[in-house]
Amino acid sequence: MTRYRVSAAIALIAGLLLTYFVWSTQADPTSSYRFKLGLDLAGGTELVYKADMSQTPSGEQGDALSALQGVIERRVNLFGVAEPLVQTERASTLSGITEDRLIVDLPGVTNIKAAVAALGETPTLEFRLAAPASAGQATSTASFVSTGLTGRYLASAALQFGSGATAGLAAPQVILNFDSEGAKLFEKITKENVGKQLAIFLDGQPISAPVIQEAIPGGQATITGQFTATEARDLVRNLNFGALPVPIILQSSSAVGPTLGAAAISAGVIAGIIGFAIVALFMIAWYRLPGVIAALALAEYLAFMLAVIKVIPVTLTASGIAGLIISVGMAVDANVLIFERTKEELRGGKTPREAVHIGFSRAWPAIRDGHFTMIISGVILFWLGTSIVQGFALVFVLGVLASFISAVSLSRVFLLAIVPEHKEGPWSFLMGSGAHNS
């Protein structure tokens, strides 16, 4: 019994420390461990863009969408929006057409126009080869052929001034530096097309069409278009913010006010407190001492879960709060199985400590199988669900995993730390349940 009492004391101290951590970090506005609130709780703006994949080969669309997400994340971060969330999804329209979408959540930004302005217009950069001109057609008016080299491969852009053609003025030039993959592709294109024009398109418009003189290794290209120094500087800034690998079209926008978000938080907290109180009172009224132990283990479970959400950190949404509340019910369900098995052993004449040992061992297979199936369901929801469903599924799966600690470990340690070897005096009542003693 001494071993269990020491373990119970350690568990209680750990629970108190976790509770203090959750409270102190939330009370400190400068703490990095404050709850990360999602758009529906913190308020903000959500922008949904459609990615135009019409000119992207099917085999490259997945990579292009990932590159697009990275570019938008970099651009949003450069504008200093707190805790932005950029996600991609593939959805089917009512007409059965599959669309690739980009979902941008900007917590704290409730002005949609300001949000769109913060995201800004990002240029679509593309290199095209001049196709052979037909008879009687000037080369300069011939169509261009895509090379596959786009802003997706751009690492950085810089501004420099070269010798000008008029009165010795320095002409602005934009230097493009490609990543390793883009450098290889650029060298291959220039090597195989010496003497041809390689036009540079920005947002679908040609801005420069230099003739390839030789193969260009090293992954660096120079744009000497007809633009002023100010235009060149703006171009460099936009390219460094991120040249889009594919065009995007704003499909919808919505804003959540901070008042609505605060109301959602308040409702979730009140629901959690009421739910916990009702469950705890029921467990105590029906299972008496084991019910008190279950309520204590449940409180430690909540402290542990909240600490995990802070440390990971998990972005907490209204659906995530719902997942946390439901997982509390799952933890209690495991305790019910254990206590019912213990009650059966007590009625069979076993001593309290022996009944607790056997009750836990008999309930374990059902608890294990039930939790395993819930984890499978949560993983499937997270894998196939939208962002709202994923928030629920993530917290739910974490809660189910944590309930093993609460139900199987904590409850067992606390019970064995205080339950005597023999059922004497008040222990007959304390170990009973419902309207009956054991």
Q: What is residue 156's predicted lDDT score, i.e. its pLDDT? A: 85
Distance of CA 334 to the CA centre of its chain: 30
Q: What is residue 137's predicted lDDT score, i.e. its pLDDT? A: 46
Average pLDDT, the chain: 83
Element holding 310 (H helix, E strand): helix 289-311
Task: Band the pLDDT of 139: cuts 50, 70, 90.
Answer: very low
Class of domain 2-38+257-430: mainly alpha
Task: Band the pLDDT of 421: cuts 50, 70, 90.
Answer: confident
Give the three-class secondary structure for 416: helix
The rounded distance, in Å, linking the Cα atoms of 52 and 100 is 8
The number of helix segments (H) and strand segments (E) in the chain equals: 13, 13
* Residue located via tokens 């959602």: 264
Q: Reply yes or no on domain 43-120+248-255 having CATH 1.10.10.
A: no
- CA neighbor of 71 nearest in space, from 42, 44, 51: 51
> Comparing 109 with 25, which gets the higher pLDDT?
25
Q: What is residue 167's predicted lDDT score, i.e. its pLDDT? A: 41
**Share of the chain residues as helix, strand and coil, in percent rounded to the nearest 5:** 55, 20, 25
Q: Reply yes or no on domain 125-242 having CATH 3.40.50.620.
A: no
Task: Band the pLDDT of 18: cuts 50, 70, 90.
Answer: very high
> Comparing 42 with 281, which gets the higher pLDDT?
281
Decide whether 2-38+257-430 matches 43-120+248-255 in CATH topology. Answer: no
Q: What is residue 28's predicted lDDT score, i.e. its pLDDT? A: 92
Rounded to an integer, the average pLDDT of 141-150 is 75
On the question of pLDDT at 194 being above 80, the answer is: yes
Residues 107/258, Cβ–Cβ less than 8 Å: no
On the question of pLDDT at 129 being above 80, the answer is: yes
Q: What is residue 241's predicted lDDT score, i.e. its pLDDT? A: 66
Rounded to an integer, the average pLDDT of 293-310 is 91
* Residue located via tokens 């805790």: 83
Give residue-wise pLDDT tens across range 226-249. 778 888 887 787 677 666 778 888
- CA neighbor of 258 nearest in space, from 84, 104, 110, 38: 110
End-to-end CA distance of the chain: 22
Rounded to an integer, the average pLDDT of 321-340 is 85
Sequence spans of domains, the chain: 2-38+257-430, 43-120+248-255, 125-242
Q: pTM for this structure?
A: 0.66
